[in-house]
Every structure is written in structure tokens, then in C-alpha cells.
Amino acid sequence: MTNVYESLSWLPIPPSDFSQKVTATQSYPELRELSKFSLDDNQLRKLAKKLQGLQKFQSPLTPLTPVSIGIISNATTKLAVPALIGTALRFGIALNVLEANYNQIAQEAFSAESTFTGQTLSAVLVAMDHRGLPLLPTPGDRVAAENNVQTSLNYVKSVIESLRTKTGAQIILQNIAPPPEGLSGSYEGRLPGTLSWLISRLNTELDGLVADDTFILDIAGLASNIGLVNWHDPTQWNMAKLPFAQSYTPIYADYVCRILAARLGKSRRCLILDLDNTLWGGVIGDDGLEGILIGNGDPTAEAHLNVQRTALELRDRGVVLAVSSKNEDSTARQPFKEHPDMLLRENHIAVFQANWSDKASNIKAIADMLSLGLESMVFLDDNPAERMLVRKELPEVAIPELPKDPALFARTLIAAGYFEAITFSEEDRKRASFYQDNAKRAQILNQSSDMDTYLQSLGMEITLTPFDATGRARIAQLISKSNQFNLTTKRYSELDVKEIEENADYFARQIRLKDVLGDNGMISVIICKMNSSVWEIDTWLMSCRVLGRRVEEAALRDIAEHAKQSGATKLVGVYSPTARNIIVKDHYKKLGFTKTSGEAEIELWELDLTQYQPPELPMIFKYAL
């Protein structure tokens, strides 16, 4: 069996004329589409070179998001840099990489002459392996071993703290892949002071460094999945100081870019499932309830059961589940209702689209019902023809290539890393329920005679609260993930949020919404800079799942009331257009603001508070001190 990681098998095979297509490409969207194949080192290098060539002549980078990172390592990174740049295109990122000098970690981290000094970087990748750390095996000497772990940990901490101070960037810290050789066999990991023991303890300590500005890149997990003997190539280390076998550069780059994308809120949020031969073996319309394969005791049936189990585990982590199937609706629902071995039930599915329409149309309908963008969707389907059609019609949707053996469906889906998380909160756990309730609201809207009646029927309760320690992590997460309903797309870390929370010159709000169908959780964040007569709205973002429910008007009413009380007579709103926030281009206009200036990069809008009249709104207002 081909290693799923080495071949990036969830991605389609590149066309035979890939190189010619790269040469002929004249736009960023075309280049991004070419990045969506399972590419090797050389092909990724071609993409990186083409991107750098286009950047000399074309600006802005739309639809790509520019990101600059640094990379520092005790090993050779020159081969990884082009792969990182080429891979980042697949995530919608135009990546610039500033490479530190080879094996100069301490010098680069602590010296004022560092490559990173004075540079504007989003993140620094600290890519050390065990050979770059002061790990000294002392088999059997637990005291010396524990001291050695703390010495190594303190060294790592000093490096990342110095880099953070020097650059202001977030840190992506690799954990350590142990070498495959164990001198004591099965006892190796249990014997204090062996290299395996030291690395295992150090990795546990490194996990404790995770914070708002520090993320762990799980190279130990990746190397374990691939196989340590495969990952470590002593010949390539001796010849070129490559920290791992070169054939794994594409998957290494993919792992790094997943974290970069997650920081920008680009992780996927919805898994759309085909039914026949995906969730179960067979065709429900032809084989009937008793003829489909699902459950224990049969290898094919167990394989499909594992797909369902994986889907449920993703749902527990906040991923929304939906169905898109070419079937009669009642027939498609029958296994969910009646089959005793089904793990998935109707109540787990937020939107159920079973009809004879094409799947691209159904996926669009699902996105609309959930108020999610197509770039949030993953579509799992065993049929190559359906996958090809949806890829062509909806290139924003992620569609993993699936092998013929259904036993590998779940593994392939998870290996693709679509749902990369850098944090996990109680709100994340509840997200699937939030969106499921949102789909129910959409159904109520379809049954209502008018919008006012619909909104009144929801019994909404909006709570407006200053920033606080309890909400701080979720506030920072919303700021990092919100791209569509986000007027400026500024990014603030959890530490930044804490500073704003404690700064008397800022008015900040976290907004929550409940209704008769459930709790939507925190759905909006607003930050205003307060001056004596003018308040500037620095940040205004909102979850798209509450669009059309007049939350914007409620938020403005709250801002205006407090601004007036402070003596302000004017609100100034800023809109910075991006490829993804076009849905809010008329946000201030709809709220009664007047446009005062508009450049390509920024628009300014003003509201005269002396003329502002608060509207009557179909919701109960609650304020917390």
C-alpha cells in the first residue's frame, strides 16, 4: 500500500503537462488551481518560482493572502523553502519566507545582528531536531536525565522568547521526532536517560508552551505516521544535513501551511457526505435497507462504519455534518431512521439534501442554509465522476481523492488535515449544534410570511459585554478566523485582546445571541478607539450564521449610546476591502453612515451621532457589567 502521507494521496494526480501549464500561467487564481495536485519537490519549486515571477509585475495578490514568515533550524532548510511557498498557494497564501543562516539558532535568536532584526513577520518557524538540542543520554540516571530535559527546555524557551521579542511574531515550534534506533529494544522508552526517554519527556514539556502566540507543529506525530525509519535518512543527513528524507518535503510543507492557514481562519468547518458506497456499502435505492453493508462482521461493512465513526468524532470537535445524495429523500433517510447499525442519525445532520439535482447545486444550497462560504466545505464522495464535476463547478470546495478500498476512506480524510485546529474551546465543541440550529432557522424563514414575522418568532436575546478574561480566548479566536464579515480583517492575539481589555482608551464588546432554537454563543466582536468627540471603529466582525437578523443594528445602537454618553458626536468606520470580505462592502452605508473617502486600500465612513435615531429591534437587550 502506498504511504498516504508520502504521496499526498488525497490530492489528484497532476496533469502530464503540468510544467507547461505553470509556464503559461498568467494569474494568481490559475496558479492556485495548479497547486491543488499531489506535487513533488520539483513541481512545488516551479510553482514558487512562478509566483515570485508574477509578483514582480502583478499587484495586488488577490485572491491570495500575503504572509511572511521566518525559518530557523540547526539543519538545512533551503530545499524546504520553495516547497513551503508552492504548498501555501493551495491554502490561498502568497508566502514569503525569510531563511536564517544554517545551524545558527543561538546566534540568530540572541544577536542584534540577526537576519530577523527589523523584519515584519507573521510567524517564525523554529525547526530544531534532536541534533540541535543539548540532549545527552545518561541511561539509568533519572536525576541527570530530568535535569537534561529541563536544560533543553530552558534553551528552547529562551530561543522562542528572544525571537518573539525581536520580531513580535507568533512562534511555530516543531516538537522532536525521535530516532528509530533503540539500543535497549522495547525497554528503551522506559529507561530514564535514553535518547527516546529524553525526547518523549521533552515533547511533553513543549506541549506546555502552547499559548496564543506559540503553536506546536507535530513533527513527532507525522514521523510516527510515516515510520521513523523512513523519516530519518542518515545518508541524506551526512551528505547535506537534511533533517528528514527529502521525499517527505511536500507533506512537511503541508503540515506547516495547515497551521498558517488555521491562523487565518482557513480551516474547513463542514463535512458534506455522500451516502451510497460512502456511508454504507451498496445502493439503498436498489439493495434496500437489508441489502446495504454497514456494521460489524463484514470487512466492507466495518469500513463504512468507520467513516461514520470518524464523521461523528469530527462533529464532536465542532465540524458541521451535511448530506448530499442523488436519491429520493425518503429512501435516503431510511437507514438513518431504521438501520440498527447506523451510527449517524438524522439529528446529527445539519442539512439533508437528497434529490436528483446535481451535487454542485446541492452543495451551494447547503452552504446557503448554513451561512457558510464554499471555502469552508469538504465533500466526501466515493464516485470519481462526481468528485471531478464538483471540483470543476466549485473549486473552493475541498474534495479528497478516495482509494477504491473503503477501509482507507477515513484515514485519507483525516490525513488531508482539512480541519486543522490551533485552539479548542467550549464554543468550538458546540459549533456543529450552532449551525444545525441555523439550518432550522432557515427552514422557519421559508415558512414565514415576511422577515419581521420570522425575526419576532425567534425570540432573540442579545447580550453585550465588555471584554473579559472568560471570553478572551474566544474573542481572539473569532478575530483570527473571521474573514467574510470583518470590516478591517485586523488580527489581534490573545495578549493583544488582554491589553485592549485593560486600556481605558478602548471601548470593546463581545456579543452573544440566543433564541428559541438555541444559544448561538459569541457571534460578534467590536473594538472602538475612543477620542473626546470622535470614536473610530477599529474592528467590527460577526459570524455569518447570524446575517439578516439585525444584529448589526443592535451593535450600532449599543456603540452609539455609549459614544454619546462619553460626549462623542461622530463615529468613524473603516472598511479595508479584501477578496473575502466583499459581503460587508455596503455595511456602513446600510447603517446610515456617509462615505468620506475611498481609496483602493481603505474606505472611511462617518455617522453623525447628533442625527442618529436608534431603531426598534425584534430582540431583548441584556447588558453585563
Burial class (CB within 10 angstroms; exposed 0-12, middle 13-18, buried 19+) of 235:
exposed
User: Could you report the per-residue pLDDT of 487-539, keeping only the tens digit for each?
Assistant: 998 888 888 999 999 999 999 999 999 888 778 889 999 999 998 899 999 99
Domain boundaries, the chain: 64-263, 270-415, 458-623
- Report the pLDDT value the prediction gives residue 448, as an integer from 0 to 100: 60
In the chain, what percentage of residues exceed pLDDT 90? Answer: 74
Query: 270-415 belongs to which CATH class?
Result: alpha beta
Q: Three-state SS for 129?
A: coil
d(CA 445, CA 457): 10
d(CA 426, CA 371): 21
* CATH topology (fold) of 458-623: Aminopeptidase (3.40.630)
Residue 8 confidence (pLDDT) above 80: yes
**C-alpha dihedral over 346, 351, 355, 360, to 10 degrees?**
-140
- Report the pLDDT value the prediction gives residue 180, as an integer from 0 to 100: 92
Biggest CA-to-CA distance, the chain: 80
Q: How confident is the model at residue 440 (pLDDT cuts 50, 70, 90)?
A: low
Q: Which three cell numbers stand for residue 176?
A: 522532536
| Other beta carbons within 10 Å of 527 | 24
- Report the pLDDT value the prediction gives residue 332, as an integer from 0 to 100: 95
Residue 481 phi/psi, 5° resolution?
-100, -25
Residue 587 phi/psi, 5° resolution?
-55, -55
User: When comparing pLDDT for 443 and 529, which is higher?
Assistant: 529
d(CA 375, CA 507): 32
The pairing of strands 65-73 and 506-515 is: unpaired
d(CA 547, CA 368): 11
Peptide bond into 395 cis (omega under 30): no
Of 493, 29, 501, 496, the residue nearest 263 (C-alpha)? 493
* CA angle, 501 then 505 then 509, to 5°: 45
Residue 434 confidence (pLDDT) above 80: no
d(CA 475, CA 466): 11
**Mean pLDDT of the chain, nearest integer:** 91
Residue 119 phi/psi, 5° resolution?
-90, 150
Residue 252 identity (one-letter amino acid): Y
Homologous superfamily of the 64-263 domain (CATH)? SGNH hydrolase (3.40.50.1110)
Residue 392 confidence (pLDDT) above 80: yes
**Same CATH fold assignment for domains 64-263 and 270-415:** yes
Task: Give 214's strand partners.
Answer: 171, 211
- Report the pLDDT value the prediction gives residue 535, as an integer from 0 to 100: 96
Of 535, 533, 536, the residue nearest 574 (C-alpha)? 536
Residue 32 confidence (pLDDT) above 70: yes
Q: What is the mean pLDDT of residues 70-98?
A: 97
Burial class (CB within 10 angstroms; exposed 0-12, middle 13-18, buried 19+) of 283:
middle
Residue 267 per-residue DSSP state: S
Q: Which three cell numbers stand for residue 111?
A: 544577536
